[in-house]
Amino acid sequence: MHYSEILGAVENRSLIWPPITQLQDLWNCHCLAFHDISPQAPTHFLVIPKKPIVRLSEAEDSDESLLGHLMIVGKKCAANLGLTNGYRMVVNEGPEGGQSVYHVHLHVLGGRQLGWPPG
């Protein structure tokens, strides 16, 4: 299942969260991880919460552990995919922050030297 399909199902509230095979079936009851449909690095995957959160700025205080959990899952995925020399984790917020899909998601990019500033 591609990211666009998942997002369409999230918007329609029709998604039954299946196991994800794109990252060695790495998923759990709180989030999903899968490769980005338009990668910006040799390794580029997303970690998304199952709970619908439109923007990071709309997250509640009660989402703190869930948002931290996304980073832990991202770290585990990065290790499983062999990103031993480092990687970048990014959350885009709003139009000026580069957010184009309005469901919070964590980008994890690696597999090459990443420059700074990013944009």
Residues classed as catalytic? 105
CA separation for the pair 92, 17 (Å, rounded): 23
> Tokens representing 103?
């469901």
Angle at 61 between CA 58 and CA 63, to 5 degrees: 75
